[in-house]
Each structure stands twice: as structure tokens, then as C-alpha cells.
């Protein structure tokens, strides 16, 4: 029996256990959505294709699965680029299907034709243009396999309309096997032994965890490893939640807006164990001053990430979970027991740094944004899924909300894509219907995809938005204040909408706090309301995120006030 290309897609969705997809229809994609409507798969129809990809991203992280997005050709396809780039930078497994004009019109400047494969080649893990009916099923199966395996990432599949409508025989395919693509999961045992030798010698060790720990599901193994070594742990923005943020070994986030104790510890350690991290510029600062006294062990499934930015003593290519398991196994074999007193002077020094310059602010007559985040944490007891927009709101969330569980912090880390947080929260809410999902936003960033409020209302997704409203593009304004003599060029956005009325116009709930004593009542009411809610907090307009390391400076040279 022959079935259409659209029907083949639905069959593979069932095989891949896809239960939700995000997207927007259009002329070239109409047959896919017609078939989708005949299945039990939930389709979340967004109001903009960028929102669809960010929602699929949030879904993938919260569900620990592959996110799926379907859009039409031309502008529908090009609107996905920011979302794809964000997912690519953060290694999030997505499969994005774009409809295309019929194959005989490709290259003829047909209506809503665009070379989306060429456009997205730099910002996808892989992409495909399906030119033959008989290649469709194999290509789609490969797309899911490539997206989730090795270092995960987004894959785009561009399908011409005649392939979508055409018919062919279909039978389920075996799992793909690609000769040119074989990720290394199990680490080289010789390298693991070298790492153990460095661990045995270390007196001032630090573990630096990244998003790779969360993606590989290695949080439990990381915690066991850290406690066995009695080694303090720091984590990148993408790694927050990989290690409990309330644990006594937790240092906080390092880098440009990292904690004083995390940055000073990296500057003084004699061994740094990087696990699933990229060592990007926001963490390292001036490279030749990064961890200057340390030997570095770097564990990552992507060999191209190792030694790309930072020289390392022991490179270990492999899956974080498996590599940590091998380290534990060999330490057991060698009966390696860490003297709990060996690290005591090191831990005492870190405690002194913590007490000398802790994260702090002074709450007075005007609402401080840090105060809002702290009260949000107190009320939710750290049990919410937190998404963020990008900018000061993102950094304050990372600093003042404590993440004890993986996949509880969802943000655009590598790309820093404004407009990410709200649609990502929608995707996370679809994936975790019984959980509280909160988007911490700035008044600038939230407006970039605010149209998705209609999506949240249509599908009864009770996402909460906490706006830290300073009527500025706050992070750029902070740089202007510190480095451009307070010339606030193109950063003032005083003509913002009335967010309470905006929420009500969508049928949602809008609340506002303009004084410190109103913060807790507004949060309690907003979080307990079983509908989408916008909470608008009028915060100190010129509050800055501290600590701050100026661009290009060593991480130990921080601006503290």
C-alpha cells in the first residue's frame, strides 16, 4: 500500500514517540498539517515561527527529548533561523521541518521559495533537502538520530511540496547507521588513568560543569564525584542545575557575572576538571590569565571543543555520564581515597572569599530586581522551571535563584537570543503540565515574542511572566554607564506598553508592583492564578549586575559595586 509523504512523516513521528509539535501552517505545508490533524499528536500553533523553534527548544530541555517544529516555505522557513542558531549554540536536539516549493520550481525564484538549506548550514548540526520520494523516510529517521546522538543539536529537513503530496510504499526502518558519523561515547582508558593521577596530586581542585552534564543525564554522577573528591563545583550558565545550588560545595556561576568566590577559585586552583563545557569567552575572560596555576582535565563528547579555547593537560573525549562512571570505577580499582582534611585549607580559603564579597544588594524604597528573584525563589521553594529572556534579567536569575535540579533552568546561553524565554516557557509547560513554569523577563526582551500570549491562552498554558521593568535595554545601558560616560544611546525604552492592560487584552491576568511591600503579594497572587499571568515589577532603573568583569580582563579583576 502506498501512502503520501505527509503520512510517512506521521508514521515516523509515532515511531519516534513524538507527542507534541510546534509550528505554523502555510501553503507549502498545508498537507502536513492536514495529516497532523488526523493524529493524536498535539500541535501547538504559535503566532510566529521564531516562537515555534524556541518553544520546541524549551520542550526538548524540559522533556529531555527531541523537540519538533513544522513551518511553511519562504518567510516561514527564514523566521526559524534565530531559534535554530540558539539551539545550535546550546546543543539542543531539535528536528525542524520546512516545507519547500515543488522540486521542478527550485531555483526558479518561485513564490515563497528560499534556499533554507544554504541559509541554515552554519547554524544547524546537519540539514537535508529531500529531492526524491524514496529518500524521505530514511532522511527523517536520520534527522532524529543525528539530532539526539553525540553532541546534540538542531537538524533541518526541507521537503518540497511534491514530495509531501507524492505517494510511495512505506515500511518501518531500522535505526540508522552512518559510516561517516560515529560519536565517541566511551572514553580512552589511558586518558582516564592520566586524569586520576592528576586528581591524586591535587591540593586545590575545582570541578567546572557545563550543559553537557545535563544533556548526558550525568547530574547524579557529578554530585557523587564531587563529594568523593571533596572538591568545590562551579557551573556555566548552561550548566546551572547540574549540581545542587544549595550544596555546601557549590561555588556559584563563574565568568563575567560570576560570583567572587568562583572566579577567585579558578584563579588560584591547581587542578580544574572541566566536564561538558566549552570554555567560552564569557567564562574565561583574558585567556592567558585563566586558571594560570592549574592543570586542566577536559571531558567532552565533542572533540572539536577540546583545546579550542584553552590548552588542557588531559583531554578526554566521551559522554560525560560514561566518563564519570569510568573515573569512579578506576578510583575504586585503585582504592583511591581522598583524605577529607587534604582540601581543608582550600575550602577554608573559598569560605573566606565567600564571606568577603558575597552576592549582595540593598533593598530600600525602590524595588531592587534581585529582591524580586529572591522572593520568587522563597515562594516557589526552588521547585519551578525557570526560563529567562536575555540581559540583566538572565544574570540576576542565574545569581539569585538556586537550581538544585537539572533541566530546571532554560535560557539562551550561547547565542543570547532576546525573545527566547516566553516561547521556551510555553514549550516547557507543554512538556511539564503539572509544574510551575516562570519566565523571568526584561521589559525590552519580552516584547520580542509577546504575541505568543495568544498561544498560551489558546492552549490553556498557565505560564507566568515576571518582568523586571526598568524601561531600558538594561545590559547595554549598564555598559554605557560603566564604559561610555553614561551616554544612553538607543537604550531608553520609556514608551513601553501597559503590561497589565496588555495581558488583559489577551484574556490573561496582569498584575503590577511599584513598591517593595507589593512584591510578595503580587508574586503570591500571580503564581497561584491558574491562567497565564504577567507580573510587572517597576525596578530601580539604573541597577547594575555585579560582580562584573570588563571584556578582555582577567576573571579575578572584578567590578564589585
- Please give the positions annotated as active site: 49, 111-112, 161, 475
Q: Which strand (E) or helix (H) includes residue 81? A: helix 81-90
Cα-based torsion angle of the residue sequence 469, 473, 479, 485 in order, rounded to the nearest 10 degrees: -90
Residues 545 and 481: beta-carbon distance below 8 Å: no
Among positive and negative, which fits the CA dihedral 288, 290, 292, 297?
Answer: negative
Q: Smallest Cα–Cα separation from 104: which of 74, 131, 76?
A: 131
User: Cell 526582551 sits at which residue?
Assistant: 445
DSSP 187: P
Angle among Cα 148, 153, 155 to the nearest 5 degrees reads: 90
Residues 271 and 294: beta-carbon distance below 8 Å: yes
Rounded Cα distance between 358 and 259, Å, is 7
Rounded Cα distance between 216 and 187, Å, is 14
3-state secondary structure of 166: coil
Show the DSSP H helices in 171-259 as ranges: 189-201, 211-215, 219-229
366: left (phi over 0), alpha (psi -120 to 50) or beta: beta
Residues 483 and 553: beta-carbon distance below 8 Å: no
Chain-centroid distance of CA 501 in Å reads 30
3-state secondary structure of 258: coil
Residue 81 C-beta-side C-alpha neighbours within 13 Å: 14
Residues 404 and 244: beta-carbon distance below 8 Å: yes
Cell of 407: 533541566
Q: Which strand (E) or helix (H) includes residue 137? A: helix 136-148
3-state secondary structure of 427: helix
DSSP 433: T
DSSP 390: S
Rounded Cα distance between 427 and 312, Å, is 37
Q: Name, in order, each residue with C-beta under 8 angstroms of 14's C-beta and a sequence gap of 6 or more.
A: 39
DSSP 492: B
Amino acid at each position: 500500500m502506498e501512502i503520501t509523504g505527509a503520512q510517512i512523516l506521521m508514521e515516523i513521528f509515532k515511531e519516534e514517540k513524538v507527542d507534541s509539535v510546534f509550528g505554523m501552517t502555510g501553503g507549502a505545508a498545508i498537507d502536513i498539517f492536514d495529516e497532523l490533524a488526523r493524529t493524536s499528536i498535539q500541535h501547538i500553533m504559535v503566532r510566529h515561527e521564531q516562537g515555534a523553534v524556541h518553544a520546541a527548544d524549551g520542550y526538548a530541555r524540559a522533556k529531555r527529548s527531541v523537540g519538533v517544529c513544522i513551518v511553511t516555505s519562504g518567510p516561514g522557513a527564514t523566521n526559524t533561523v534565530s531559534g535554530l542558531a540558539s539551539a545550535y549554540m546550546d546543543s539542543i536536539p531539535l528536528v525542524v521541518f520546512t516545507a519547500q516549493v515543488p522540486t521542478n520550481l527550485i531555483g526558479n525564484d518561485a513564490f515563497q521559495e528560499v534556499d533554507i538549506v544554504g541559509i541554515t548550514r552554519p547554524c544547524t548540526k546537519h540539514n537535508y533537502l529531500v529531492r526524491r520520494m524514496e529518500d524521505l523516510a530514511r532522511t527523517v529517521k536520520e534527522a532524529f538520530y543525528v539530532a539526539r546522538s553525540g553532541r546534540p543539536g538542531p537538524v533541518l529537513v526541507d521537503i518540497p511540496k511534491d514530495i509531501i503530496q507524492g505517494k510511495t510504499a512505506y515500511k518501518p526502518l531500522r535505526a540508522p547507521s552512518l559510516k561517516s558519523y560515529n560519536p565517541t561515547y566511551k572514553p580512552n582508558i589511558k586518558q582516564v588513568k592520566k586524569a586520576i593521577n592528576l586528581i591524586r596530586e591535587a591540593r586545590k581542585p575545582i570541578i567546572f560543569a557545563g550543559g553537557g552534564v545535563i544533556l548526558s543525564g550525568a547530574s547524579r554522577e557529578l554530585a557523587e564525584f564531587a563529594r568523593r573528591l571533596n572538591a568545590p563545583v562551579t557551573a556555566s550558565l548552561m550548566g546551572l542545575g547540574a549540581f545542587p545550588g544549595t550544596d555546601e560545595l557549590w561555588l556559584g556561576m563563574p565568568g563575567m557575572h560570576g560570583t567572587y568566590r568562583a572566579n577567585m577559585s579558578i584563579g588560584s586552583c591547581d587542578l580544574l576538571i572541566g566536564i561538558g563545557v566549552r570554555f567560552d569567552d564569557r567564562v574565561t575572560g583574558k585567556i592567558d590569565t585563566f586558571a594560570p596555576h592549574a592543570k586542566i582535565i577536559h571531558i567532552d563528547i565533542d572533540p572539536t571543543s577540546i583545546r579550542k579555547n584553552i590548552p588542557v593537560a588531559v583531554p578526554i573525549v566521551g559522554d560525560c555520564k560514561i566518563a564519570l562512571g569510568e573515573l569512579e570505577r578506576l578510583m575504586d580499582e585503585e582504592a583511591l581515597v581522598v583524605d577529607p582534611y587534604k582540601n581543608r585549607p582550600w575550602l577554608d580559603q573559598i569560605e573566606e572569599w565567600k564571606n568577603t564579597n558575597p552576592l549582595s544588594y540593598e533593598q530600600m524604597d525602590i524595588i531592587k530586581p534581585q529582591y524580586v528573584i529572591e522572593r520568587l525563589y522563597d515562594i516557589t521553594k526552588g521547585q519551578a522551571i525557570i526560563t529567562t529572556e536575555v540581559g540583566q534579567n538572565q544574570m540576576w536569575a542565574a545569581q539569585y535563584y538556586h537550581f538544585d535540579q537539572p533541566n530546571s533552568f532554560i535560557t539562551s546561553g550561547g547565542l543570547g537570543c532576546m525573545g527566547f524565554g516566553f516561547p521556551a516557557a510555553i514549550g516547557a509547560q507543554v512538556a511539564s503540565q503539572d509544574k510551575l513554569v516562570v519566565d523571568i523577563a526584561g521589559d525590552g526582551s519580552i516584547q520580542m515574542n509577546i504575541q505568543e500570549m495568544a498561544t498560551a491562552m489558546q492552549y490553556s498554558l498557565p505560564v507566568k511572566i515576571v518582568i523586571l521593568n526598568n524601561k531600558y535595554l538594561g545590559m547595554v545601558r549598564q555598559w554605557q554607564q560603566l564604559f561610555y560616560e553614561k551616554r544612553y544611546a538607543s537604550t531608553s525604552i520609556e514608551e513601553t506598553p501597559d503590561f497589565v492592560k496588555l495581558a488583559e487584552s489577551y484574556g490573561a491576568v496582569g498584575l503590577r508592583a511599584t513598591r517593595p511591600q507589593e512584591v510578595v503579594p503580587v508574586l503570591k497572587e500571580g503564581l497561584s492564578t491558574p491562567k497565564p499571568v504577567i507580573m510587572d515589577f517597576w525596578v530601580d532603573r539604573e541597577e547594575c549586575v555585579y560582580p562584573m568583569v570588563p571584556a578582555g580582563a582577567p576573571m579575578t579583576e572584578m567590578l564589585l559595586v
